[in-house]
Structure formats: C-alpha cells, structure tokens
Amino acid sequence: MVDRDVTDHSDSRKTLGGLDVPVVATKNWAEELGYDSAFQSLPGEEPYTRGIHEKMYRGKVWTMRQYAGFSSAIETNKRFRMLLELGQKGLSVAFDLPTQIGLDSSDSLSEGEVGKVGVAIDTVEDMKELFKDIPLDQVSTSMTINSPAMILLAMYVVCAEEMEIGKDKLRGTIQNDILKEYIARGTHIFPPNPSLRLITDIFEYCAEELPRWNTISVSGYHIREAGSTAVQEVAYTLANGIAYVDAAIKKGLEIDDFAPQISFFFNCHNDFFEEISKFRAARKLWFDLINERYSPKNPKSSILRFHTQVAGVSLTAQQPQNNISRVTIQALASVCGGTQSLHTNSYDEAIGLPTEESATIALRTQQIIAEESGVANVADPLGGSYLVEGLTTKIYELAKEEIKKIDDFGGSLRAIEAGYQQRQIHQSAFQFQKEIESEKRKIVGVNYAINDEKDLPSPQSIDSEIRLKQIEKLAHVISNRNNKLCEKLLQEINTISRTDENLFPKVIEAVKARCTLGEIVNSMRDVFGDYHPPSGF
C-alpha cells in the first residue's frame, strides 16, 4: 500500500468555532498542526490529554448530576428526591436570582423574581428544607452560586451539622467563580478585589475543614453561552483559573494547599468533534500552565477535573422535541471528551422550567449512553483519530496564544477591566448570529426544515404566591431567633471585612444564629461597596 497524504483542503469546512476541517484528516494534516503521536500519553498519565483516570468509566461512570431548583425549598426537595429515585448520583442546586445577588425574598428588589429561575434560600431553615431526608454524607452536591458563595456554603455546613453529619464527610462543589460574572453573566455584588478575597478565604478554610469539597468550579459554561468560541471558552476559563491561583498564593497559601480542590465547568455545544477536542486540549493546557508557573509537588494540583452541561443556548423553542437529539449529541461528546460529571438539559428549557417528564427524559439520556451505547467501555475512544488529535492540538495552541494576550494585560482581572474578553465574545456572538440570519449556518426548526408550530409543551408551573410564603417564613425565623446575638455577629462580620482575617468562621456563626442571606451580604456591602461595570462592556 502506498503511504500518501490524502488530506483534501479543496472543500474545507469550518467547525462551529471557525476552525478549518478538511474533507479527509490524515496523519500529515495533524502533524502540520503540531500533533506528534510519538509523545502521546495514555489515559491517567501526564499531561492527561486522554483523561485523568487509567480506566475512565470502566472504573466508575461519570456522576449524573441534574441541575434543578424552582419555587420553594420544599418543592425543589421533591424534585431532588425524584431524581435520586430515578438513579441520579449527585445533586445540583439552581438558586433564584435574588439569592444569586444576595437579596432576601422580602427585599423590594426581589419582587417578581422569587423562585422563578431557581430555589429561594433566605436562611439556613430553607437549606434544611431543601435537603430534608437526603443523606448529605452519601451524595455530592453542586451549588451554582458565586457572589454569596461563602454564605450558601456556610448554610450547607450548618445544615449538615444539625443533621449530625461532620464537615469532613461533605462532598461537592460551589461554583464560586466571580470573574466570569464580570465577563459574561452579571450576577456580581462586590467589586473584583473584595470578591477575590472572599474566594481565597474559602480556599483557606476548606483546605483544613472541608477536605473533600471542591472550593471553586471555574466556569467556561457561561462564557460559551454568551457567544464565545470553543477556543475562547478554554482560554478565558483557564486564564480565570490562573487568576484565582495567583490570588491564593498572594494570600500566603501554597499551590498544593488548594489546587487539588479546584474544578472546572464547561459547556458542550453541537460540534461533536470540536467539543471532544476542546476537553482534551483544556486538560493538557491546564497541566502545562500549572507546572510551568508553580511547580507543584502534588500531582493532583495540575489535574483538570470538570463538570459539563450541554448547551442551553443551542436549544430551540421551535420544534422543542428536536432538542432531545441535540442534547444526546452533546452528552455523547462530553463523555467521549472525558467529563467527570454531566448535566443533560431538558427538551423544554427554551420554553420554561423542566417538567418531571422532560427532566426524566434528560436523565434517561445519560443512562442510555452509559449502559447501552458502548462509549463508556473505552477510555478516550477517539484518541488517535487524526481529526480529533489535529483539532486538539489546534485548540491547545490557539487557546495558549489567547492566554498570552491576557497575560500581556497583566492577567485576567486587568483584561476584564479593559473589556477585552467581553469585546471578543461580543464579536464572536455577532458573527454567529450573522451566519444564522444569512442561512450560512442552518438551525433545524429556526431557518431550516421549518414546520407549522403545533401546541407547545406546558412548562413547569411556579406557585404565584411563593414570595409571600417566603416572606412569611422569613418573618417567623426572625421573630424566633436571638436578635441581639445576630446584631452582634453582623457587626463582627462588618469589622472583619475591614481586616485580612478569614471571614468564613464568623459567617458560619451568623448562619447558625439564623442571620439572613441579605443581612450578611449587607454587612459586607457596607465595607466592600457595589460593583458597577464600565458602560459599553
């Protein structure tokens, strides 16, 4: 057989992120991009391009962690228990918008938003209702919370303590990633520097007290949802991760004290091979960045562990059942890319909150992939594919170049303040939208294969009286607590906020005394102030 390069560039197409893809990918094409098969590691070996475990899902299947939260803690608890009964192994909490920005349900600014996009949590009593009859020492819990992450984690710790479960038994993750809020999402409260201080206080406390807890989930998900490319998602996420590492080291922590508790959270979009390659590239790039910059002694300090959620932005309100196919493709890519846990969106999420039926189908999709598809039988099943190896190399190199640009600003925070990441994402999102409007990019049901719409599925309904019920519960807690003690603790939080002392222990005391989320945030806000982003970003 003649050894020849049959890579055909004459009809090259592009990935969703704009990378050229040849008609036929060959070894020569991959090597032109920098791929060298002689130096490929095995799964479980440095630099972990092919996965962080030797046997991957042969040893343990990924954690099926469905994101859920709506209305009251009681209603969300019912959904959690339903998902656990269906075979889910981990919980993932969605908080309503007031909780995300540190407002009590009784705050006038909360009106119209309580319980709408997640569960309302005002005090530790709500947290106890949320996890009633759920053994917190037997499940892992992820909480998508950022600005007030310290307070919600404190509530979780106190909740477990009052269930007689020790801190050392708790497993899970708080998102706790404030930089991506300034880049892409907007649920920030305080300016960047005090926000980073809260994050490193959490690092320091959990290193000693919550050894099994992931103290941050550095999120590319929202960066991608805002319109970034796959390369930008990797670059901006890992650059944010480096910023958190630098902040912790500046605080006096050693890299091995906290880096093993850092995790990541990525999006998985529709371009099957690009997404698989993105995950592989991100693992190698994080390994290289950590080792080149910090020389850790603990191998776990440079391992990129990540949760994946399929792309909410890819779901359509038109022909919503088609979203089941989209979710399946994205979930398959996540598994082939080596994710540690996975959330599959429900097909009706472009219309409203998932119903029990749609949430069940979403979970069953993961279970079918795990048990019936065969993709979990082999670690890194697409390793050695010239297409995947070439794209992995290309994404690695382009993301590394983008991180260098951020370094030239002085790091992620300085680049954010200059509006760099925001502008790049806006440009990518605009380009993608132009391709849809010109029909250069086809979206089934939107600009291609359009049907006359039939009746849309009914979304999950939300109790219209939820805010009044939350206000009533809140008033009951306040009237039955020791208000003098609460006033004292809130003043102490205010005082400590003016120092370098770790705030976490005092926040736990305040939560235990039944101080509210809003009260604790306001005691910090009095010192830290509010953040208002520059106009135009």
Portion of the chain with pLDDT greater than 90, in percent = 88
Domains with residue ranges and CATH for the chain: 47-437 (3.20.20.240)
Mean pLDDT of 279-294: 98
Residue 2 pLDDT exceeds 50: no
d(CA 272, CA 241): 25
**Is the distance from CB of 203 to CB of 153 less than 8 angstroms?**
no
Quick one: average pLDDT of 434-454?
A: 90
- Please state which of the ranges 1-15, 285-299, 304-318, 474-488 shows the lowest mean pLDDT: 1-15
| Mean pLDDT score, 31-46 | 89
Q: What is the residue-averaged pLDDT of the chain?
A: 94
Q: Per-residue pLDDT averaged across 23-49, rounded?
A: 91
Residue 461 has pLDDT above 90, yes or no: no
pLDDT for position 5:
53
Residue 224 dihedral angles phi and psi, to the nearest 5°: -70, -40
| Per-residue model confidence as pLDDT tens digits over 500-535 | 999 999 999 999 999 999 999 999 999 999 998 875
Task: Identify the pLDDT of residue 1.
Answer: 42
Condensed to tens digits (0 to 9), the pLDDT of residues 102-130 reads 999 999 999 999 999 899 999 999 999 99
Residue 30: predicted pLDDT: 92
Check if the beta carbon of residue 200 is closer than 8 Å to that of residue 248: yes
Per-residue pLDDT reduced to its tens digit, 146-188: 999 999 999 999 999 999 999 999 999 999 999 999 999 999 9
In b/e form, how buried is each residue of 332-357, taking b as 16+ CB within 10 angstroms? Answer: bbbbbbbbbbbbbbbbbbbbbbbbee
What is the pLDDT at residue 155?
A: 98
The 10s digit of each residue's pLDDT in 220-262 is 999 999 999 999 999 999 999 999 999 999 999 999 999 999 9
Q: For 346-399, write each residue's pLDDT tens digit.
A: 999 999 888 889 999 999 999 999 999 999 999 999 999 999 999 999 999 999
Residue for token pair 């003649």: 2
Q: Averaged over 8-34, what is the pLDDT?
A: 85
Half-sphere exposure of 157 (CA within 13 A, CB side): 27
Q: Per residue in 130-148, pLDDT tens?
A: 999 999 999 999 999 999 9
Dihedrals phi, psi of 306, to nearest 5 degrees: -145, 150
The mean pLDDT of 459-475, rounded to a whole number, is: 85
Q: Look up the pTM and report it.
A: 0.93
Q: What is the pLDDT of residue 485?
A: 98
Q: Is the pLDDT of residue 343 over 80?
A: yes
Angle at 106 between CA 100 and CA 110, to 5 degrees: 45
**Chain center to CA of 73:** 22
Tokens linked to 227? 């319109």
User: What pLDDT, on the 0 to 100 scale, is given for residue 67?
Assistant: 86
pLDDT tens-digit map of 186-199? 999 999 999 999 99
pLDDT at 480 over 70: yes
pLDDT higher for 49 or 68? 49
What is the C-alpha separation between 397 and 390, in angstroms, rounded?
A: 11
